Amino acid sequence: MKYSLRKTPSHLHLAYKYGEASDGLMGRHFTLETSGRVMTLGIDLTPNFHTRNKAASAYLDAINLAHNHHKLRYLQCSDNLVRARLIKAWEQIDQPELRMHLELGQRGSYLYAVQPHSLFMGGIQFDVERVIELQPRREALSAPAFQPTEAQPAGVLARTENHA
C-alpha cells in the first residue's frame, strides 16, 4: 500500500561521511510504501536540477549527492507533517524495517536501509545503515560506444580523420 506523506517541497539537510554536509536541497512528493513489515520512504529530489542558475545551492547540492550518494550518512527533514504521518504508520507495523528511496531523475535512483529517530527540535532524521541498491545514472547507459566492424577496423577511423 502506498501513502502520500507530503506533496509540497520541504527543506532537507544531508550529511556525508568525512564531515561534508549540504543544506540547500528540497524534497517533494514524500511517499510511504508498505509491503509486509518493510516500509519504503520515497523522496523526489529532481526539482533541484530544474533551475536555470547552475550556481544555485540546491543545484550544487543535488549534483554533490549524485556524485557522493555512497557516502551519505544521514538525511534530516524538518517537516513535522512528514514526521507525524511517518510515526503514525510506523506504530501500526510490528517490528518495521525502514528504507529510503532517493529519486534523482536522470542522475540515478538510490535505496538505503535507514534507522529513523525524531529530533528534539522537530522533524525527523534518517541514519543510513547501508546502501541496498544503486541504480546507475541513465546518462551513462544511453551513451553509445564505438564498436569497430569487420568492414571498418578500429584504426581506420583515425587514419581517415588525419587525411581530411
What is the model's pTM?
A: 0.78
Average pLDDT over residues 111-136: 86
Contacts of 56 (CB under 8 A, 6+ apart): 24
pLDDT of residue 21: 84
Residue-wise burial string across 48-62, b where 16 or more C-beta atoms lie within 10 A, e elsewhere:
bbeeeeeeeebbbbb
**Long-range contacts (CB closer than 8 Å, 24 or more residues apart) made by 118-123:** 118/83, 118/87, 119/76, 119/78, 122/78, 122/80, 122/83, 123/76, 123/77, 123/78, 123/79, 123/80, 123/82, 123/83
Q: For 15-68, what is each residue's pLDDT tens digit?
A: 998 878 888 899 999 999 999 999 999 999 999 999 888 888 899 999 999 998
Alpha helices in 7-79 (DSSP H): 57-68
Domain positions in the chain are 2-163
Of 48, 62, 6, whose CA–CA distance to 30 is shortest? 6
CB atoms within 10 A of CB 116: 18
The proportion of the chain whose per-residue pLDDT surpasses 70, expressed as a percent, equals 81
